[in-house]
Amino acid sequence: MDFTVKEYSKYNEEEILNLYQSVGWLNYVNQPEMLKNAYANSLKIFGAYENKKLLGIIRVVGDGHSIVFIQDIVVLPEYQRHGIGTALLKKVLDTYAHVYQKTLLTDNTKKTIRFYKSLGFQMDTEIECRAFLKMR
């Protein structure tokens, strides 16, 4: 599959909401103003494109020096398993190679664990850490 990864520079609500809707991330879809503000305040956003069609997105927050947090990585379901998620994540890892800590939260499934481990991530329990999360 032929696609390019480049910086996502202009927020297009329709394409972003469609992307999140396609993977069932309804918390974002049901709060479009929150998502728009989240994008506006992100450290970096990259998109994967086939011509002008957005196939996937990765969004990074953090300080860009000691930590980056990979907040969202989303690929249209019909384009998953074609290397798009890997390319997006590698773009972030290359861009922030100098950053001490690269962190993310994901679903606890064999598929996602295998994906992130294949790119060098470790589970918190493997490095004698514990992750905590507080939702509103």
The verdict on residue 78 lying in a domain is yes
Task: Using alpha carbons, select from 79, 68, 80 the residue that is nearest to residue 104.
Answer: 68
The verdict on residue 15 lying in a domain is yes
The verdict on residue 69 lying in a domain is yes
Per-residue pLDDT, 21: 97
What does the pLDDT look like over 55-85, one tens digit per residue? 999 999 999 999 999 999 999 999 999 999 9
Per-residue pLDDT, 38: 96
Per-residue pLDDT, 132: 86
Amino acid at 82: H
C-alpha distances out from residue 131 to 105, 127, 134, Å: 9, 11, 10
Per-residue pLDDT, 135: 85
**Ordered alpha helix ranges (H), the chain:** 13-22, 26-29, 32-40, 84-95, 110-118
Length of the chain (residues): 136
Q: Structural domain tally of the chain?
A: 1
The verdict on residue 26 lying in a domain is yes
Domain extent for 38: 4-103
Pick out the chain residues at pLDDT < 70: none
The verdict on residue 50 lying in a domain is yes
Per-residue pLDDT, 133: 86
* CATH number (domain holding residue 83): 3.40.630.30
